[in-house]
């Protein structure tokens, strides 16, 4: 099993749609969880941290299920500017203390 | 404040030449990371520096790759005898390793390396 697994997509959705991304991780000892966003030909940038109680930032909601080792990101009322690749990131790996998933590509169409 | 700075932003070199890529982390960040990203692919971990500890070199793909971090700040990634498969974007990130913001990695804009 890969350390962090994501559906690569692409997810093609119309503006205004709600879209959900899922991620599973293999290390049950992981303590920190994040979603990063990477625009085409740009560096990854932190979108939000993910807390056990779940957290919301505007149109974005992140959930963590430790028992199932599962993380989700929900985007409501999608905007054209949300088009990007979303990276699931988990701590506790042997390499550099964060393990990045390969990302899920989102394309929001008018 | 200033973010992670990488130079050069673009580098074109001939097969067999050596290249040096530079990363200047955010001031106060004790951890520094190098990644490689080929076109359309995910991040590939290369090496991790944490304070004065020995670096985690487990991601370096071959002995042609090496990195240094002098004085706990600036880092240089060196690729010797470059090959065409080394062509990629090389990303550097830095982070705190304690406190509320620990583990959050901030990335530089990367160096786009093209080996002809």
Comparing CB atoms, the residue among A32, A91, A96 nearest residue B33 is: A96
Give the CA-trace dihedral at A41, A46, A52, A56, to 10 degrees.
-100
Q: Is cis: bond before A108, omega within 30 of 0? A: no
Q: Mind listing the pLDDT tens digit of every residue in chain A (110 residues)?
A: 678 999 888 999 999 999 999 999 998 888 889 999 999 999 999 999 998 888 999 999 999 999 999 999 999 999 999 999 999 999 875 555 788 999 999 999 99
- CB atoms under 10 Å from CB of A57, counted, come to 11
Q: Which of B3, B35, B56, B105 to mutate to test the interface with A (most CBs of A within 10 A)?
A: B105
Sign of CA dihedral B2, A43, A88, B57: negative
CA-based nearest residue in chain B for residue A50: B104
Read off the pLDDT band of B96 (50, 70, 90). confident
The answer to whether residue B9 neighbours chain A at the CB level (below 8 Å) is: no
Instruction: Flag if A46 and B104 touch (Cβ within 8 Å).
Output: yes
Query: In this structure, what token pair is assigned to residue A47?
Result: 């979108």
Distance to chain B for A98, nearest Cα, Å = 7
The answer to whether residue B33 neighbours chain A at the CB level (below 8 Å) is: yes
CA-based nearest residue in chain B for residue A99: B45
């Amino acid at each position: 099993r890969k350390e962090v697994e994501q559906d690569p997509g692409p997810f093609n959705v119309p503006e205004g749609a709600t879209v959900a991304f899922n991620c599973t991780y293999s290390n049950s000892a992981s303590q920190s969880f994040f979603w990063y966003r990477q625009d085409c030909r740009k560096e990854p940038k932190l979108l939000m941290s993910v807390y056990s109680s779940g957290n919301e930032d505007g149109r974005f909601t992140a959930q963590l299920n430790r028992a199932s080792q599962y993380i989700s990101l929900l985007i409501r009322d999608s905007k054209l500017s949300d088009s990007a690749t979303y990276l699931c990131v988990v701590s506790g790996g042997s390499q550099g203390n964060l393990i990045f998933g390969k990302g899920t590509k989102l394309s929001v169409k008018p | 404040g200033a973010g992670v700075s990488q130079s050069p932003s673009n580098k074109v070199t001939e097969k067999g030449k050596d290249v040096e890529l530079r990363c200047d982390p955010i001031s106060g960040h004790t951890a520094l990371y190098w990644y490689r990203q080929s076109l359309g692919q995910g991040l590939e971990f290369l090496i991790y520096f944490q304070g004065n500890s020995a670096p985690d070199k487990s991601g370096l793909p071959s002995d042609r790759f090496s990195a240094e971090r002098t004085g706990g700040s600036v880092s240089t990634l060196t690729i010797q005898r470059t090959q065409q498969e080394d062509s990629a974007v090389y990303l550097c990130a830095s982070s705190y390793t304690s406190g509320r913001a620990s583990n959050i990695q901030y990335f530089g804009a990367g160096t786009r390396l093209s080996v002809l």
